[in-house]
Amino acid sequence: MALFVLKFGGTSVANLARLEHVAKVIRQEIINGNQVAVVVSAMAGITDQMVGYCQALCPHEQTPEHDVVASAGEQVTAGLLALSLKKIGIKARSYLSWQIPIHTDSTATDARILHINPEKIQQSLSKGEVPVIAGFQGLSREGLITTIGRGGSDTTAVAMAVALKADRCDIYTDVDGVYTADPRLVPSARRQDTLGYNEMFEMASAGAKVLHPRCVEMAMKHNIRLRVLSSLTDSPKGTEIIEDKLVVDQGNVTSIVHSLQEAKVTLKNMQNQPGVAAKLYTNLGNANILIDMMTQSHSREGYIDMDGMINRNDIERFQTTMFASKDNLSFSDIAIDKNVAKVTVIGMGLRSNMDIPALICRTLANEGINIHMIYSSEIKMSVTINQQSLKPALTALHKAFALDQNYIEKEVA
């Protein structure tokens, strides 16, 4: 008997009708002769509402209390789905993370899963029950409730699949797979049947919400079969994430990803001398703030400006941390730009094809779109642009790299 972990995201469990539909999807897997463990997110919008309450009371505080509130939505969904399963004759039991437990480190709002004890879930399975596990939640060594980062129930599901040695992990969401670009912004985007772990990881890290980056990292490390499917349609089609070496070469560029989750920060007039960057990174590391696309440029004789991209949720903490060591870091001012979108072009072809960066820049120039920052690595190139240029930029790049559905159909015809 195969064992599958099925994960259902916020839209898939957004109301009682959807929960009842999800229960039927689970029943079908059981009828097919498989064992099933389930991981659920909160109903769509609930986590935002919970985080909103915390922010209204204590803005920008990242404490265990925040995580107690933020993780509440998953408790409700786990219970309701177990009830929906019982209603259609399937034995089920809900589990909160502390009951399993799912051990994490102590980083409030962004903890990492360290260890899962699979015993309780295995016992539940052997009793013929469907265990319904609340995603996103963890338990720290100190016994505190944690959460594992927004979008993190994907990672709970893969971690559960690792702990249970499951045969596959299916992530059910509101799109029927991973597309060449976000299908909500680029209607001509194409669903990909298969995708290598590395490309999927780059996509997730660059902001493609469809999978949480850590879940891809974990699936890759433990060789977990991972699929992305829609819970809203009955289509069996989806995307399977597979070993990179098994991916048929799909060309130079395979996807265009965007993120509106980041802001540009500039530290102005820092002294141009050894040790300044070291101090800056030490402060950021201590405050657990990730900075991306870091560049430095000459501002005036003996001084530099440092630019970088940070998560918008970290802006206030960034300012507080920087101003707390202003004398040590020796900057004159901080500028924050929120009118910024990051667009990332991903593909193995970037390793060898030097024409790709030129085509990216030329395509944006032809649209009259100004690039602010550029970062490139072996298999991706990111640029930042004004937010209002995002849609035209995605559309033009998608077309320039022949990723459009129409283009492929024409080629095949």
Contacting residues toward ligand ASP, per CB under 6 A: 9-10, 41-42, 47, 73, 135-136, 150-153
Site string for Mg ion, 232-251 (x = CB under 5 A): --------------------
Q: Return the number of the residue (42 or 329) whose C-beta is nearest ligand ASP.
A: 42
Q: Return the number of the residue (9 or 131) whose C-beta is nearest Mg ion.
A: 9
Q: Return the number of the residue (97 or 153) whose C-beta is nearest ligand ASP.
A: 153
Q: Return the number of the residue (13 or 304) whose C-beta is nearest Mg ion.
A: 13
Q: Which of ligand ASP, ligand ADP, Mg ion, none binds 152 (CB below 5-8 Å, type-dependent)?
A: ligand ASP
Distance of CA 220 to the CA centre of its chain: 15
Q: Which of Mg ion, ligand ASP, ligand ADP, none binds 250 (CB below 5-8 Å, type-dependent)?
A: none
Q: Which of ligand ASP, Mg ion, ligand ADP, none binds 136 (CB below 5-8 Å, type-dependent)?
A: ligand ASP
Q: Which of Mg ion, ligand ADP, ligand ASP, none binds 184 (CB below 5-8 Å, type-dependent)?
A: ligand ADP
Q: Which of ligand ADP, ligand ASP, Mg ion, none binds 349 (CB below 5-8 Å, type-dependent)?
A: none
Q: Give the amino acid at 351.
A: R
Q: How near is the Cβ of 151 to Mg ion at its closest, in Å?
A: 4
Tell me which residues touch ligand ADP (CB under 6 A).
9-12, 41, 151, 173-175, 178-179, 181-184, 208-210
Q: Return the number of the residue (211 or 390) whose C-beta is nearest ligand ASP.
A: 211
Structural contact between residues 150 and 46, judged by C-beta atoms closer than 8 angstroms? no
Q: How near is the Cβ of 154 to Mg ion at its closest, in Å?
A: 6
Q: How far apart are CA 181 and CA 258, in angstroms?
A: 8
Q: How near is the Cβ of 209 to Mg ion at its closest, in Å?
A: 6
Which residues have a Cβ under 8 Å from the Cβ of 303 and sit 6 or more positions away?
A: 269, 270, 271, 272
151 binds Mg ion, rule: CB under 5 A: yes
Q: Give the amino acid at 63.
A: T
Which residue sits closest to ligand ADP, CB atoms considered?
9
Q: How near is the Cβ of 71 to ligand ASP at its closest, in Å?
A: 8
Q: How far apart are CA 118 and CA 102, in angstroms?
A: 9
Pick the closest to residue 74 from 154, 189, 192, 129 (CA basis): 154
Q: Return the number of the residue (42 or 394) whose C-beta is nearest ligand ASP.
A: 42
Q: How near is the Cβ of 152 to ligand ADP at its closest, in Å?
A: 10
Q: Return the number of the residue (267 or 396) whose C-beta is nearest ligand ADP.
A: 396
Q: Return the number of the residue (208 or 276) whose C-beta is nearest ligand ADP.
A: 208
Q: Which of ligand ADP, ligand ASP, Mg ion, none binds 179 (CB below 5-8 Å, type-dependent)?
A: ligand ADP
Q: Which of Mg ion, ligand ASP, ligand ADP, none binds 208 (CB below 5-8 Å, type-dependent)?
A: ligand ADP
Residues near Mg ion (CB under 5 A): 9, 151
